[in-house]
Structure 1
Amino acid sequence: MYPPSGPTFKGNIPTYVINLDLPPSRRWDDLMRDKKTELKTVVQNIKDIANTFFPSGKVVDIVDNKIAHLTATLPYPFNEELQGIANSSGIPLGEIVIFNIFYEIFTVCTSIVAEDKTGKLYHARNLDFGLFLGWDVKNNSWTLTRELKPLVVLLDFQRNNKTVFKSTNFAGYIGMVSGVKPNLFTLTMNERFSLDGGYVGIFEWFLGRRDGMWMGFLTRTVLENATSYQDAKDRLAKTRLLAPAYFILGGKNSGEGCVITRSRTAALDIWDLDIKKGTWYVVETNYDRWKPPQSLCSIS
């Protein structure tokens, strides 16, 4: 139910303006001032999980001392925004980068676009982040999921004091998992599991092959720059990626809704709304629609 209520409700989700007219390194200062403590908690949780699998501490050492140097290889303005978040939060740059990479390889979610009999469009999604990462036996929940909740924020990206797009996101993450470009389109992204997955693209990036785009950066670029539903659809279908993905896109007119199934290099399938053929909704979890549901997806 919305608006939320009940014993677990802690208050309304805060809204922050991200001023695109500011230098990239300053855009997230206000948000980090309020959320740096919560972000440090999540980053520490990720480090603790890494140390569980690699007790030597070498992985965390690599993150703190090696990954930070790769920030310079990321496209502008994202490289400078990450550095700015590290500066304003006091969290090492390498750990901020890893926090952002995390969502390239672990966005287990569900999205749906539907059209009712009057032609009105609906776009909804959930945020299943943190699954399988640290089990809290006392509360019967995933620790990272619980610790991510205080980082949920509403973002209003503005230029010249006017809204360019809006997003529900996690503080500290500069890509976009969901967003709305007012009066044009809505967009969400989901993880697509594949042997040629996000890990491969990320390792290629580390090794010097950098012709693919981070999917969170692509969604943000599309939200900021696309001028129509069709423009957004084309960009999402054709841009080379680091990781396979599902992009779920909604528009403002009847029939404008689709799921774009992506490999790292091409669109494998575009599933459109088609009211005349009875397709009044399209829904995506984390498996290809032409394949049997995965066991986890079948109960989600």
Structure 2
Amino acid sequence: TEECRTEMYPPAGPTFRSAVSWYTVDLDSPPSDRWTALITDKKNDLLVVIKAIRDFANALVPSGRLVELVDISLPLMVETLPKPYGEEIKAIAAVAGLPLGEVVLYNIFYEVFTVCTSVVAEDDEGNLFHARNLDFGIFMGWDVKNKSWIISEKLKPLVINLNFKRNNQTLFKSTNFAGYVGLLTGVKPNLFTLTMNERFNLDGGFVGILEWIFGKRDGMWMGFLMRSVLENANSYKEAQTLLVQTKLLAPAYFILGGNQTGQGCIITRSRLHSIDVLETLLQRPCMM
């Protein structure tokens, strides 16, 4: 087991970059324009992460055929993605000067590889707490010197706070990675909080991706569902219903918090069904 660490916050040390910057995403602007300012600022950092993923793919398949497949086949997939996500991904690739297929892969990485942790809890005064980390990295190994996941080190400069606006009003907020148009974490002010976590299953994301490629497209990509729920649900219960009932491409855990005492749950999902909804009780945290 890993050693218990203390005094890790506020962040410091060799892997600390800087305070996380805020950017605005104007949902009233065309999809092709929404991410231009952010990607212009973060272009070089995004190139580093995409190169790391490319290098890992070449290490897995030294012939280079895997990267070739990504560069040739995944651009075709972008036209099948639900609006406005495909248009946004194409714009990001253009601004960053990156191969479209590699930006598509970056945007479907939940269905390929992730690990992360969330907790929702309530204290005895009725205050709700919802927290998460983004402990990605197993698939690319551990940096012994800096005591961190290698891919996490490369992702840190891409961490940004997003303020999604419509009609010049904040609709929801997120902490996310630059270049990723779906969401992993979000807050709809005064209504609910939402995070997602990996759930491993044999009937997993690769199965969902293959079904999508071969034309079965009735499931929802994880990050896109998260963003859709934050954009469209107007209450804890509405969000819960969407997360329980929507077909997915990959199994998942959703951790949802509300704005009233007792409003907190873990939703355990297979690709097609809800397996369990574990509601919080006073003084009992739900963690995943």
Q: Give the aligned partner of residue 10 of structure 2.
A: 4
- Please say if 1:271 is aligned against 2:278: yes
Q: Give the aligned partner of residue 286 of structure 2.
A: 282
Mapping of 1:1-300 within 5 angstroms?
Answer: 4-8=10-14, 9-136=16-143, 139=146, 141-275=148-282, 280-284=284-288
1:104–1:216: 8 Å Cα contact kept in structure 2?
no
Q: How many residues align?
A: 281
Shift of 1:25: 1.2
Shift of 1:281: 1.5
SS in 1 for 2:139: coil
Give the distance between the partners of 1:271 and 1:257, measured in 2 at CA.
Answer: 8
Please tell me the residue identity of whatever aligns with 1:28: W
Give the distance between the partners of 1:140 and 1:255, measured in 2 at CA.
Answer: 37
1:18–1:27: 8 Å Cα contact kept in structure 2?
yes
Please tell me the residue identity of whatever aligns with 1:281: P
Q: Give the aligned partner of residue 3 of structure 2.
A: none
1:229–1:251: 8 Å Cα contact kept in structure 2?
yes
Give the distance between the partners of 1:58 and 1:242, measured in 2 at CA.
Answer: 25
Please tell me the residue identity of whatever aligns with 1:227: N
2:262–2:280: 8 Å Cα contact kept in structure 1?
yes
**Alignment TM-score, normalising by the size of structure 1:** 0.90
1:178–1:187: 8 Å Cα contact kept in structure 2?
yes
Identify unmatched segments of 5+ residues in structure 2: 1-6
Give the distance between the partners of 2:190 and 2:176, measured in 1 at CA.
Answer: 20
Please tell me the residue identity of whatever aligns with 1:206: I
Please tell me the residue identity of whatever aligns with 2:26: N
Q: Give the aligned partner of residue 4 of structure 2.
A: none
Give the distance between the partners of 2:280 and 2:145, measured in 1 at CA.
Answer: 44
The superposition leaves residues 181-231 of structure 1 with CA deviations (integer Å, 9 ceiling, x where unpaired) of 000000000010001011100111111111100011001000011010000
Please tell me the residue identity of whatever aligns with 1:35: K
1:131–1:145: 8 Å Cα contact kept in structure 2?
no
Give the distance between the partners of 1:221 and 1:76, measured in 2 at CA.
Answer: 11
Q: 1:191 to 1:105 in 2, by over 3 A?
A: farther
2:110–2:222: 8 Å Cα contact kept in structure 1?
no
Shift of 1:55: 0.7
Give the distance between the partners of 1:163 and 1:104, measured in 2 at CA.
Answer: 29
Shift of 1:66: 1.4
Q: Matched residues, percent identical?
A: 57
Give the distance between the partners of 1:65 and 1:115, measured in 2 at CA.
Answer: 49
Alpha-carbon RMSD across the aligned residues, in angstroms, is 1.5
Shift of 1:170: 0.5
Identify unmatched segments of 5+ residues in structure 1: 285-300
Give the distance between the partners of 1:219 and 1:266, measured in 2 at CA.
Answer: 17
SS in 1 for 2:172: strand
Shift of 1:104: 2.5
